[in-house]
């Protein structure tokens, strides 16, 4: 009898221990599963774009700024060195001059950010070049990111033996603070140059343009694509009620603003329609159009001549002065005219300036013409 009791107690003890072990293990099991789930989430979040590191450009291909920008050279750990032939050395044209290119690794000498609102990351960095003599040149260079890779896009030379203080990107504007030994201010302070990135080129802009570009987004308000189209349709109908209005263009940076060409008596005009002046413009069946318009530029024109709009190139509204009866081919691009002008939409009072399209723009328009003519 005692033997059976002992076996019963032992069995009961084993059952209790197994139960206790299961009870203790359950929280651990679910905790471990939760940790695995969190780990998976962390791994999936790692696909989100990581912060830019300069080492991404240590072994990239760039133009050889030191010798010939039409040739390409590959950096090795942020540097490239070599020799090139300069001048004659006893008739022997073997390389006789050293050159060096290197990435400025100071944390204030590069920036990464948005330049076009196209979802692409852009790195702006300083690359120094030396090719004999005492000259040491600094270049502002732009690289675009595609997935995990960068590629060279464009560059501009900043100067000889300048000291870079800071490179920054703010509201798609690139700024470079530097000290130039050849152009020191009275107190020896740093100067600043500003650039916009447009059609894969760096365009230098002045302080007035910088101020306007920084303020413009605050004034434009957010406008959806559908509302922008409604504004364009209504503004076009409202303006075309005036027979002297020739062409109408919606400002791509501020969809509530329109530029148009017109005529009043002997005066040819470039004018604006600012629909922001009417809070209920889209619902207003009889808007007071004259009170919403301003003349940007005007000049006397012959009776048989008029202004015609061409379009926007960044902050430039481009137009042409042409004969009233001039009717180009349906596929012809007005950007290919040889006597274009523009007004800077951010400057007041405006000045009429000569406009010269970039080679890239000209080729782009020629390609559009060729495509159009094939469809005729």
Q: Are residues 248 and 117 in the same domain?
A: no
Q: Quick check: 113 and 195 in contact, CB under 8 A?
A: no
Q: Which residue has the tokens 């133009």?
A: 63
Chunked into runs of 10 residues, the chain (376 residues) has average pLDDT values of 60 62 46 38 34 89 89 93 66 70 92 81 93 84 89 92 90 87 59 85 79 55 74 89 82 86 90 88 88 92 92 88 86 89 82 86 86 83
Could you give phi then psi for residue 165, rounded to 5 degrees? -100, -45
Q: Are residues 243 and 352 in the same domain?
A: yes
- Paired tokens of 147: 């997935």
pLDDT of residue 211: 65
* Helix (H) / strand (E) containing 15: helix 2-45
Q: Are residues 195 and 232 in the same domain?
A: no
**Structural domain harbouring 288:** 221-375
- Domain end marker among 205, 233, 254: 205
CA gap 319, 311 in Å, rounded = 7
Within a domain: 61:
yes
- Paired tokens of 284: 């207003």
Q: Which residues pair with 79 in a beta bridge?
A: 76, 102
CA gap 148, 165 in Å, rounded = 28
Within a domain: 25:
no
Q: Are residues 150 and 177 in the same domain?
A: yes
- pTM equals 0.49
Q: Are residues 190 and 227 in the same domain?
A: no
Within a domain: 12:
no
Q: Are residues 238 and 137 in the same domain?
A: no
Q: Are residues 159 and 226 in the same domain?
A: no
- Domain end marker among 177, 205, 233: 205
Q: Are residues 190 and 233 in the same domain?
A: no
One DSSP character per residue, 327-359 reads ---TT--GGG-SSEEEEETT-SS---EE----H
Within a domain: 28:
no
For residue 286, give the nearest of 318, 330, 241 by alpha carbon: 241
User: How confident is the model over 134-162, as pLDDT tens digits?
Assistant: 778 999 999 998 877 899 999 999 988 89
- Paired tokens of 216: 């413009």
Within a domain: 113:
yes
pLDDT of residue 111: 93
Evaluate the omega torsion of the peptide bond into residue 349 and state whether it is cis, within 30 degrees of 0: yes
- Domain end marker among 170, 205, 240: 205
CA gap 193, 132 in Å, rounded = 27
Q: Are residues 191 and 252 in the same domain?
A: no
For residue 220, give the nearest of 268, 255, 259 by alpha carbon: 255
Q: Are residues 92 and 182 in the same domain?
A: yes
Within a domain: 189:
yes
Within a domain: 301:
yes
The count of other CB atoms within 10 Å of the CB of residue 174 is 24
Q: Are residues 116 and 238 in the same domain?
A: no
Q: Are residues 174 and 230 in the same domain?
A: no
User: How confident is the model over 288-320, as pLDDT tens digits?
Assistant: 888 999 999 999 999 999 999 999 887 789 999
Give the CA distances from residue 10 to residues 2, 15, 21, 22, in Å, rounded to whole numbers and listed in that order: 12, 9, 16, 19
Within a domain: 75:
yes
Q: Which residue has the tokens 């072994």?
A: 59
Quote the number of domains for the chain. 2
């Amino acid at each position: 009898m005692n033997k059976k009791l002992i076996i019963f107690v032992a069995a009961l003890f084993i059952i209790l221990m197994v139960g206790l072990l299961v009870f203790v293990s359950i929280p651990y099991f679910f905790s471990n599963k939760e940790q695995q789930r969190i780990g998976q989430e962390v791994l999936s979040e790692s696909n989100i774009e990581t912060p830019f590191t300069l080492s991404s450009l240590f072994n990239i291909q760039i133009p050889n700024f030191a010798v010939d920008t039409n040739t390409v050279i590959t950096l090795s750990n942020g540097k490239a060195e070599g020799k090139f032939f300069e001048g004659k050395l006893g008739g022997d044209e073997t390389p006789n001059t050293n050159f060096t290119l290197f990435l400025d690794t100071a944390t204030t000498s590069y920036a990464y950010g948005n330049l076009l609102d196209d979802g692409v990351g852009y790195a702006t960095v300083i690359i120094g070049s030396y090719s004999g003599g005492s000259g040491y040149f600094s270049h502002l260079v732009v690289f675009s990111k595609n997935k995990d890779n960068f590629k060279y896009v464009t560059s501009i030379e900043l100067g000889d033996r300048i000291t870079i203080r800071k490179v920054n990107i703010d509201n798609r504007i690139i700024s470079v603070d530097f000290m130039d030994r050849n152009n020191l201010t009275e107190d020896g302070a740093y100067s600043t140059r500003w650039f916009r990135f447009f059609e894969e080129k760096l365009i230098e802009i002045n302080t007035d343009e910088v101020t306007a570009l920084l303020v413009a987004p605050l004034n434009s308000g957010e406008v959806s694509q559908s509302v922008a189209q409604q504004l364009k349709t209504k503004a076009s109908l409202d303006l075309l009620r005036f027979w002297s209005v020739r062409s109408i263009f919606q400002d791509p940076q501020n969809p509530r603003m329109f530029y148009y060409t017109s005529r009043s008596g002997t005066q040819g005009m470039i004018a604006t329609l600012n629909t922001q002046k009417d809070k209920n413009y889209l619902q207003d069946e009889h808007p007071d159009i004259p009170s919403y318009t301003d003349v940007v530029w005007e000049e006397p024109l012959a009776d048989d001549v008029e202004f015609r709009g061409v379009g926007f190139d960044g902050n430039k509204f481009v137009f042409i002065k042409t004969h009233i009866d001039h009717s180009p081919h349906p596929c012809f691009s007005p950007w290919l005219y040889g006597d274009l002008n523009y007004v800077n939409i951010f400057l007041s009072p405006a000045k009429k300036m000569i406009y010269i399209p970039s080679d890239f723009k000209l080729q782009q328009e020629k390609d559009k013409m060729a495509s159009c003519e094939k469809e005729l």
